[in-house]
Structure 1
Amino acid sequence: MSEFNIKRTRPDLIARVWRTVCKEPVLSILVVALIALQIAHPRPWKSLPGLVDWQTVLTLAGLLILTKAIELSGFLMWAAHRLVHHIHGERTLALLLVALAAGLSTVLTNDVALFAVVPLTLSLHKLAPLPIKRLVIVIALSVNAGSILTPLGNPQNLFLWQTSGVGFPGFVWALLPLCAALMALLGVVTFAMFRAAPLDLSSDVEEHRVDRVLCGVSVLAFAGFVAAADAHHAGPALAVLAVLFLLWRREVVFKIDWLLLLIFVMMFIVLRHAAALPSIHDGIAHLGIGTPVRAYAAGAVLSQAISNVPAAIVLAEFSKDWRALAFGVSVGGFGVAIGSLANLIAVRLSGEKGMWVPFHMVSIPFWIVAALIGWALV
C-alpha cells in the first residue's frame, strides 16, 4: 500500500469510528465522561485497563458467543413456537416471561438470565406481534428483582456475601423479604402494563427446524463455560470457545455484538475512575453511613450515579452493615439505566430504537416505590 493510501485510510478509519460512537448514546456519554475525568483528574492512560474487571468482560464475551450459537441453531424459534400455543394472551405471556427471568437470575446471575430470556422474547415477537419494548422493560426489572435473593444473583451480592462472612442460607433469608416484596410489586406493574388480549398467531405458518448438533454443543458448552467462569477461569474457557466456533461455525463469532463489549469496558473505566476520586470518598465519609438507614439510602442513591456494583465496593469501606448495603444497592439497580449493568444489556439485546425514554418512564417510578419498600424493611 502506498504512503498516500495509508494517509488516506487513517482519517477514514477515524471517521468511521467517530460515526459509530455518535450513533451510540451510551458510548458517546462514556467517551465524553472519560475525557472530562482525564482533564479534571488525569491518571496515566496505561493504568486505565487496570480499572476493567476483565473477568466480567471475558465472561460476557463467552456468553455472547454461546447465546448467539443457540439463537442460530433455531432452538429459540422452536421453543417460541411451542410456547405460544400454550399461552392465550399478552398478559399471561408477560407474567410468564417475568417469572422465568426472575427464576433464572437467582441461580445464573441477572446477566445470564437476560441472555436466555430476551432472545426468546424476540423470537416470540417474530411469531406474533408483541409490545416488545414493554416486555423488555419488565424483563430487565425482573432480573434485577429476582437476582436480589441469592449471592449468585448478581456481582454486588457475591461481593457482599464474600465480605460479610455470613452463610449462604443466612444471606438468602436476609434478602428474601425485599426480593418477595419487589417481585410482588413487579407482578402488579406487569399486570397493569399488558392487556388480556389474545395473541395473534396468524403469521405462524413456517416449520421451525433446529440444528440439534449446534444446539446440543452450545448448551453443553454453556454449562461448562458458566462453571469455568464461576471458578475464575473465564479467559481460558473463552479461548477454547473462540477457537471451537472459529474453526467450526465462524459466523457465530462474527455476528456477536462486539460494540456491547466495548461499552462494558468503557463503563468499568469511567465508573471506577469516578468512584476513586478523593472528592467522592471524602463526601461519603462526611455523610456518616454508620446507621442501617443511612447505609441503605447511600447505596440506593449512589448506584444511580456509578452503578450498583461500584457503589457496593465503595460503600463497603465505610459501613460493615452488609444487609443494609445489599438492600440499598439492590434497590439502586432500578431507576436510571446505569444503576445496573443488566439494564444496559437488556436494552442492547432488544435491538429496539427509542428504548431509553419508555424504559425510564417505568424504571424511575418503580425505583421510587422500591426505595420506600426497602426503607420500610431495612
Structure 2
Amino acid sequence: MTRVWRTVSKEPVLAILVLALGVLQVVHPRSWASLPGLVDWQTVLTLAGLLILTKAIELSGFLMWAAYRLVHHIHGERGLALLLVALAAALSTVLTNDVALFAVVPLALSLHRLAPLPIKRLVIVIALSVNAGSILTPLGNPQNLFLWQTSGVSFGAFVWALLPLCAVLMLMLGAVTCAMFRNAPLDLSGDAEEHGVDRVLCGVSVLAFAGFVALADAHHAGPGLAVLAVAFLLWRREVVLKIDWLLLLIFMLMFIVLRSAAALPAIHGFIAQLGIGTPMRAYAAGAVLSQAISNVPAAIVLAEFSKDWRALAFGVSVGGFGVAIGSLANLIAVRLSGEKGMWGPFHLVSIPFWFVAVLVGWALI
C-alpha cells in the first residue's frame, strides 16, 4: 500500500484523478462494478497498441536516424520547430491528434538527443499544433467524429465549415512558435556516433502500425492489440515491457472521472438553465465546459441541448487549449516527453493561447 501511495503522490494527474473519484463517489455514488463501463475501451486499447508500436520503432533506431537526417538539413532551432509543428498538424488531420503525437513527439525527443533543444517548449507547441490541426477534418479527433456523425453533413461541408478556425489558429501558433524559438544554429558537436537502424524491426513495426490504425478505425482495436502483444512478447519482449503502463491507467481513470462528472444532475441542470439555443451560447458553453470535463465529454453532453453542430465544434475545438484536461492529447504529449516540471510551462503558454482562441472563435461564429 505504501508503494502504491508513493507512486500516486509522484504523479500529480494521477493523484488528482484518484482524489476526484473519491469525491464523486461520495457526492453521487455509483456501483464500483459499474465504473469500468464508463471507460472507452476502444480508445484505451488503441492507445496501448500505439504505445507498443511507437516503442518498437524507437528501439529500432529509425527515429534517431531520421532525426540525424533532419538536423543536418535544417540548421536553426526556429526552422526545426516550425517544421515539427507543421508536420504534427498535417498528420493530425488524417491520423487523429493522438496518433500524430505518437509519431512526432518521439521524433522530437530523438532530435533532442542529437542536438540540445528547448524540448519542453518543443513538446508544448507540438501539443498545441495537433489540437489546432485536428480541427480541420472529422477524422482529426473524437469530438469532430461524433459531431460529424450527428450533424448529417458531408465530409467536405464539415471541412469547409471548420477551415477558417483551423487556419487562423495555425497562423497564431506559427507566430507563437517564432516568438518562442530563436533562429540559433543547432549544436551538433555531441553527434559523433553512427545511427544504425534495425531494418527488420523497423519494417515490421511500420507495416504493423498501418495495419493496426486501420483495424482501430474499423473498431477492431482489441484483436489487433492482442496480436501485437503476443507477437512482440514472443519476438522482442522488451518492446512491451518498456511502454508507459501508467499512462494507460491514467486514461482509464480520466474516462471514469470525467464521465461521472458529466453525468452529475447538477451539471445537466446548470446547462439546461443556461439556454444554449443560440450559436454564441453553444460556442461559449463548449469552450468553457471543456476546461472542466475535457472536450470529448463536453461535445457529447452539449449535443443533447443544441443541434448547432458548427457552434459546438468551434467551442469544443477551442476548448482543447487552456488547461491540460481540455484535450486528452495534452496529457499524452506531456507524458511522452518524459520531462519533469512540464505542467507549469505548458499552462503558461496554453492558457493565454486559449483566451485568444476563444476571441477568434467568437469573431468567426
The match for 1:83 is: 70
2:309 maps to a residue whose letter is W
- CA separation in 1, counterparts of 2:149 and 2:60? 38
Q: How far apart are residue 294 of structure 1 and its match?
A: 0.3
Please state if 1:317 is matched with 2:307. no
Rounded to whole Å, the distance in 2 between the matches of 1:356 and 1:166 is 38
Q: How does 1:265-344 map to 2 (within 5 A)?
A: 265-344=252-331
Specify which of 233, 237, 258 is matched with residue 220 of structure 2: 233
CA distance in 1 between partners of 2:156 and 2:52 (Å): 33
After TM superposition, give the deviation of residue 17 of structure 1 in Å. Answer: 1.2
Rounded Cα–Cα distance in structure 2 between residues aligned with 1:15 and 1:54? 29
- Taking only aligned residues, the RMSD between alpha carbons, in angstroms, comes to 0.4
SS across alignment from 2:136? coil
The gaps in structure 2 that reach 5 residues or longer are none
What residue number does 2:166 align with?
Answer: 179
Larger Cα Rg: Structure 1 or Structure 2? 1
One of 122, 134, 153 as aligned partner of 1:147:
134
* Pair 1:117 & 2:104 matched: yes
Q: Shift of the alpha carbon at 1:132?
A: 0.3
AA in 2 matched with 1:92: G
2:175 is matched with 188
Instruction: Kindly provide the CA deviation profile for residues 296-355 of structure 1, in whole angstroms up to 9, marking residues without a partner as x.
Output: 000000000000000000000000000000000000000000000000000000000000
CA deviations on 1:194-242 (whole Å, 9 max, x unpaired) are: 0010000111110000000000000000000000000000000000000
Which of 22, 30, 41 aligns to 2:28? It is 41
Cα distance in 1 for residues equivalent to 2:254 and 2:34 = 15
Partner of 1:11: none
- What does residue 88 of structure 2 align with? 101
Look up the SS of the partner of 2:178 in the other structure.
helix
Per the alignment, residue 4 of structure 1 pairs with none
What is the rounded CA distance, in whole Å, between the counterparts of 2:27 and 2:284 in structure 1? 28
The residue matched to 2:183 in structure 1 has which SS? Answer: coil
CA distance in 1, matches of 2:70, 2:46: 29
Alignment correspondent of 1:219 = 206
Superposition TM-score, scaled by structure 2 size:
1.00
> What letter corresponds to residue 150 of structure 2 in structure 1?
T
The answer to whether structure 1 residue 31 and structure 2 residue 18 are counterparts is yes
Of the three residues 341, 350, 354, the one matched with 1:367 is: 354
Instruction: Please list the CA deviations of residues 143-175 of structure 1 after superposition, one character each: whole Å capped at 9, or x if unmatched.
Output: 000000000000000000111111111110000
CA distance in 2, matches of 1:88, 1:81: 12
Whole-angstrom CA distance in 2 between matches of 1:66 and 1:165: 34
Alpha-carbon distance in structure 1 between the residues aligned to 2:233 and 2:3: 26
Measure the CA separation in 2 of the matches of 1:63 and 1:192.
32
Question: Distance between the aligned counterparts of 1:274 and 1:196, measured in 2?
Answer: 45
| Pairwise CA distance, 1:16 | 1.1
Runs of 4+ in 1 over 3 A off after TM superposition: none
Cα deviation, 1:232-285, whole Å, max 9, x if unaligned, reads: 000000000001100100100000000000000000000000000001001000
Which consecutive residues of structure 1, in runs of 5 or more, have no partner in the other structure? Answer: 1-13
| Alpha-carbon distance between aligned partners in 2 of 1:304 and 1:312, rounded to the nearest angstrom | 12
Amino acid at match of 2:233: L
Aligned to 2:49: 62
**1:88 and 1:225 mapped to 2: Cα distance?**
35
Matched residue, 1:9: none
* Partner residue of 1:201 out of 188, 193, 205: 188
CA distance in 2, matches of 1:165, 1:63: 30
How far apart, CA to CA, are the structure 2 residues paired with 1:16 and 1:107? Answer: 41
Equivalenced residues, count: 365
CA distance in 2, matches of 1:273, 1:40: 11
What is the CA distance between 1:58 and its match in structure 2? 0.2
CA–CA distance in structure 2, aligned partners of residues 75 and 158 of structure 1 = 32
User: 1:377 corresponds to which residue?
Assistant: 364
The AA in structure 1 aligned to 2:223 is P
- 2:230: which partner in 1? 243
